[in-house]
Copies of this chain bind each other. A is one copy, B any other.
Amino acid sequence: MPESVSRRGAIASIVATAGVAATGGALLTGGLNGAASGHAGASDAATPATPSPAGLHGVHQPGIATRQQHYAMFAAFDLQTANLPTAKIATNLQQLMTRWTTVAQRLMLGDPPGPIPGNRPDAPAGSGVADGLNPASLTLTFGLGPEVFDLIGQKERRPAHLRPLPAFSTDRLEPAWSGGHLIAQICADDPQVVSHAFRSLRGQAPGLARLRWSQQGFLGTFGGSTPRNLLGQKDGTSNPKPGTPEFDQAVWAADGEPEWFTGGSYLVFRKIRLDLPKWDLAAARDQDLVIGRRRDTGAPLSGGSEFTAVELGKKGPDGRPAIPADAHVALVRAIPMLRRSYNYDYAVQGITEPIIVEHGHANQDDGHLHEHHSGNSHGSYDSGVLFCAYVRDPEAFIRAQRKLAGSDRLNAFVKHTGSAVFAIPPGSQPGEHLAAALSPSG
């Protein structure tokens, strides 16, 4: 605790100044938090962790233009709606956003999150789980699902492009990992910081919203180079760089959006299971042809190095296209989006139903437990990509995914099992909470 107290003191003045300076500069750079953290792309965990001094205040929320941290949890919540009038749901949303904004600001500064609402007065102010931990570049990013604007009676404020994603022919969606009224993206370089933040946010929800699903991912420490996904491929090579016009045009909401949504974005979330045992058995050359890039260097098969532009017309020595027309890179090339994806590896989780096995049943004296045990087949090996795209308009993703669903060579190895889309409100104004413009009286 003494450590976080002294850190708080040291940071307080930064906040005061950065809050002003950065807001002024953000309109020029188009990425407050990208500018503040001074990083683009995943970098080394050994880099001293930088707290996010401005937190949720600014033109944009943090966790988008921000350097990608090494751990992420995505937690989707549903608003309580049963027997509640529209006005009450709208008020509840404001209350939750007020609480989450307050807690998020504290956590991003490394401070305790404060008391849980309705808790006894002698309860500790926070779980203590992160006492002594650096905030490890924690960012918290919040979004609103397509159903919310009807639920709160504010259709006219719904962001222009916010609607459920269409069904794709290759979807194999699991409701338990799909949809949601609200999303919290929790990213940091320390998983215990992520766990603590999740728990602190969840503690604010009872009576207002309930957890719907959660998913966790990671990115290895690749230093300055492009991180690899679980296919072994460099993933993110063609991402736009924060601070460039390409980035701003790909990511931040524009044309025809309601006024309050200026500085907002959209998050497309897909849980994509990879059939890794099958992939591992493919020939090296076939792996390269599926993606259209060399796995080792990341260079396109049309030649050059990782950052050389993909050349679709280029022929190989055999006279056929160096990059097949149905290679992954051929299909998604030139579709502007910021991919901020994480790898995930739940391996085999077994069951997660409430524990119903009674004492003694599972722990036979003869030590033979395996006859009780089933289901840990290939089918339950759950590893892959938590695909996240921040986009000006989810149509960019839909266009890409329709192409991929139609003919992507990668389809033989992937299964989309989760799907959700959220409008990401702009950063908050100092003294206000996120999405304050959606207040019933606002």
Please report the C-alpha to C-alpha distance between residue A343 and residue B394 in the assembled complex, in whole angstroms.
37
Segment 169-185 of A: residues with Cβ below 8 Å from B: 169-179
Among residues of B, the one whose C-beta sits closest to the C-beta of A48 is B46
* Residue interface bits A127-155, CB-to-B below 8 A is 1, else 0: 11111111010000000011100000000
Residues on the B chain within 8 Å of A213, using CB: 348, 350, 376
Closest residue of chain B to A81 (Cβ to Cβ) is B370
- Per-residue B-contact encoding for A114-134, CB less than 8 Å = 1, 0 else: 001001101110111111111
Given A195-B383, A221-B134, do A174 and B45 touch, yes or no (CB 8 Å)? no
**Nearest residue in B to A372 (C-beta to C-beta)?**
B175
* A345-B195, A383-B195 as given contacts; A362 in contact with B280, CB under 8 Å: no
A interface: dominant SS: loop
Chain B residues, Cβ within 8 Å of A233: 128
Q: A129 contacts which chain B residues (CB < 8 A)?
A: 220, 228-230, 232
Q: In whole angstroms, how far apart are the Cα atoms of A228 and B132 in the complex?
A: 9
- By the criterion CB–CB under 8 Å, are A203 and B128 in contact? no
Residues of B within 8 A of A8 (CB): none
> What's the interface size class on A, roughly?
35 or more
Closest to A220 in B: B192
Complex Cα distance A285/B123, Å? 8
Taking CB as reference atom, which chain B residue is nearest A232? B128
Establish whether residues B345 and A221, one from each chain, have CB atoms under 8 Å apart when the complex forms: no
Alpha-carbon distance A313/B51, docked complex (angstroms): 45
Scoring A45, A145, A223 by chain B CB atoms within 10 A of each residue's CB, the highest score goes to: A45
Shortest CB distance A441–B (Å) = 27
With a cutoff of 8 Å between Cβ atoms, the chain B residues found around residue A10 in the complex are none
> Does A191 lie at the interface of the complex (its beta carbon under 8 Å from any beta carbon of B)?
yes
Q: Is the CB of A221 within 8 A of B136?
A: yes
User: How far is A214 from B279 in the complex, measured between Cα atoms in Å?
Assistant: 21
Q: Is A255 interfacial (CB-CB < 8 Å)? A: no
Residues in B neighbouring A370, C-beta threshold 8 A:
78, 179, 212
Closest-CB distance, A385 to chain B (whole angstroms):
12
A386 at the interface (CB under 8 A from B): no
A417 at interface by CB-CB < 8 Å:
yes
Measured CB to CB, the nearest residue on chain B to A177 is B350
Most buried by B among A136, A190, A370: A370
Q: Return the contact of A362 from the options B174, B346, B360 (Cβ within 8 A).
A: B174
Q: What separation, in Å, do the CA atoms of A218 and B188 have in the docked complex?
A: 14
Given A220-B190, A228-B132, A281-B120, check contact A347 B178 (CB 8 Å): no
**Inter-chain contact A347/B296, CB cutoff 8 Å:** no
> B120, A178: Cβ atoms under 8 Å?
no
**Residue A431 CB within 8 A of the other chain:** no
Q: Is A377 an interface residue, CB under 8 A from the partner? A: yes
Residue of B nearest to A127 (CB): B232
Q: Which of B123, B173, B199, B345 sits near A284, CB closer than 8 Å?
A: B123
Q: A149 to chain B: closest CB distance in Å?
A: 11
Residues of the B chain whose Cβ atoms lie less than 8 Å from the Cβ of A145 = 367
Pairwise interchain contact A124-B178, C-beta atoms closer than 8 A: no
List 11 other contacts, CB 8 Å, given A136-B221, A210-B376, A214-B347.
A128-B295, A131-B232, A164-B363, A164-B364, A164-B365, A164-B366, A165-B363, A167-B360, A190-B220, A199-B276, A199-B345
Chain A to chain B: the 7 pairs with minimum beta-carbon distance, closest first: A128-B232, A176-B350, A192-B220, A354-B379, A179-B369, A214-B347, A164-B367
